[in-house]
Structures are given as structure tokens and as C-alpha cells.
Amino acid sequence: MTNQTAFHSGLLNPALPIPEGLEDGRSQPAGRRYGVYRNNVTVSLREALAEGFPSLVGLIGRENFDHVARAYLRQSPPTSPLMMHYGAELPEFVASLEQLKHLPYLADVGRIDVAMRRSYHAADSSGIDVKELQVLDEATLLSTTFCFAPSMILLRSPWPIGSIWHYTMRGGDKPSGTAQDVVILRAEYDPEPFILGPGAGDVLHALQNGVAFGAALEASGDDFDLEPLLNLLMTNNAISHLKH
């Protein structure tokens, strides 16, 4: 009898023998026919990862990515049929690989790929009208807390991950070596990563955690400029409502 435990184990571990009890149509051993399933599983998961991590593919090349993906999928096959979420832990896996230690920013750039997919499938929400902010008196504004669209994702890194992502995906200037905070925003259906100015990551992080507007501003340094951050959030429908 061929149980699914035996059939399943050999799919992800090519070192295991072909399970007993499998045949061709003439009662001969199945041989490489079992390999068709082995290959289908590996290729479909690898392709799903490559599609989900375009910037990692761009950074290390498809061949190297395929090696990483094969090792990852054997260790961490999906645990849900929702392939849109598969690979969320690939950045941690990448960070653990000795042979990629010379590219310490890779995992954080991979987190942009994960966040872009999460944002793409996040619940829809509409942005507030700028008038809702303009009508508030100063005291009310400072005590207001912001609620954000589910598609907004803030990523903070000691590496210039936004510049590396843009350089890899869109071309342009070579990235420089400073830390960057990146926010993924989805104005309608297409998520886009934006590099935040100095202090903006601190403010947005505080706002996301329910800190009132006035207290969040105090968290920023002297070189923080509020206007570009508010413009970015408003034009990308990122603020879903205000709580006074």
C-alpha cells in the first residue's frame, strides 16, 4: 500500500527512494514517472517564489535565486493553499545563509517584495479628504490619531533598501550607503515603495502605533519635514480615517 506520507516525503527529498506500489500501465515499476510529480512540485513552488521576489531575482540572478528557492522550499513548503502568501519567511532564510552574508542588505530588500505582495492583496480602503485635516483647530489636530489603509506597510532598515529596490527594478542611480525607511502605499490597485525623508519613519511608526499627531511629531528630529510626508500619505489615499 502506498500511503500519502510515503508519497509526500519523497516529493521534497530526492534522496529518498521511489515509494513502493507505484507502477506504469503494464505493472512495471513507475521509475521516473514518480519524478514527474517531484518535478512539478519543485518547479511550481520555485516559480511562485521567483514571481514573488522580483527584486531578489534581480539582485542575485535567476540561477542563484533558484538554488536559494530550492533549499527554502524543501525546508519550508507552503502551509496554506494561498500561494499569494508563500515565502513570507524567505527573507529570514536568506539572512541565515552563509554564502550570502556578503550581501547583508538582501533580506531587507526581500522584505519589500513580501510587503508589495501583501499590499497588493490587502483590503480596499479610501483615503480621507484633505479638508478633514484643514478644518481642525490646532489643539484638536495635535490630539488626533490616524488610521491607515491596510495596504500601507512601513519597512525600516539600516541599509538603503529603497534605493537598491529602485535601482534593481527600475534602473537609475547606484544606491548610496545610508539607512532608509520605506513605506509601501497603494493609491488604488498598484503598490509602490516610497523612500521616506529624515525622521519621517519615526513619525509614521508612531502614528501607526496609535500615538496622537502632536506626540508623534515630538518623536522626530530637527531635520524632519512634515509637508512631504503628509502629501505622500494624502495623494496615495493612505489615511483611511481620523480619530479625535
Partner 1 sequence: MPDASHAFPHLPNLPGVGYKPQHFSDILSDASPVGWLEVHAENYMGDGGRPIAQLRVLAERFPISVHGVGLSIGGEGKLDPDHLARLKHLCDWLNPASFSEHLAWSTHDSHFLNDLLPLPYTSDTLARVADHIDEVQSTLGRQMLLENPSSYLAFAESTWSETDFLTEIVRRTGCGLLLDVNNVFVSATNLDYSPQGYIDAYPLDAVGEIHLGGHDEDEDDHGAPLLIDSHGREVVDPVWALLDHTLAKSGPKPLLVEWDTDVPEWSILADEARRAASALTRVLA
**Footprint on this chain of partner 1 (rule: CB under 8 A):** 1-5, 7-8, 11-12, 21-28, 30-34, 36-37, 40-41, 44-45, 48, 77-84, 120-124, 150-151, 186, 189-190
Of 76 and 145, nearer to partner 1 (C-beta) is: 76
For partner 1, give the closer residue by CB, 7 or 167. Answer: 7
**Which is nearest to 143 in space by CA: 244, 70, 64?**
244
CB of 202 to partner 1, least distance (A): 28
Q: Smallest gap, in angstroms, from Cβ of residue 182 to partner 1?
A: 20
Q: Which of 225, 206, 227, 208 is nearest to 216 (CA)?
A: 206
Compute the distance between CA of residue 116 and CA of residue 192 in angstroms, rounded to an integer: 7
For 152, other C-beta atoms within 10 Å of its C-beta total: 23
The span from the CA of 8 to the CA of 51, in Å, is: 25
Q: How far is the CB of 167 from partner 1 (least distance, A)?
A: 26
Q: Which is nearer to partner 1, 28 or 99 (CB)?
A: 28
Q: How many CA atoms are closer than 13 Å to the CA of 183, on its beta-carbon side?
A: 25
Compare residues 39 and 140 and give the one whose CB is closer to partner 1.
39
Measured CA to CA, the distance from residue 100 to residue 94 in angstroms comes to 7
Output the smallest distance, CB 59 to partner 1, in A: 25
Burial class (CB in 10 A: 0-12, 13-18, 19+), 94: buried
Shortest Cβ distance from residue 190 to partner 1 (Å)?
8
- Say if residues 78 and 40 touch (Cβ distance below 8 Å): no
Q: Which is nearer to partner 1, 120 or 167 (CB)?
A: 120
Q: Nearest approach, Cβ of 241 to partner 1 (angstroms)?
A: 17
Length of the chain: 244
Residue with smaller CB distance to partner 1, 76 or 144: 76
What whole-number distance in Å separates Cα of residue 168 and Cα of residue 174? 9
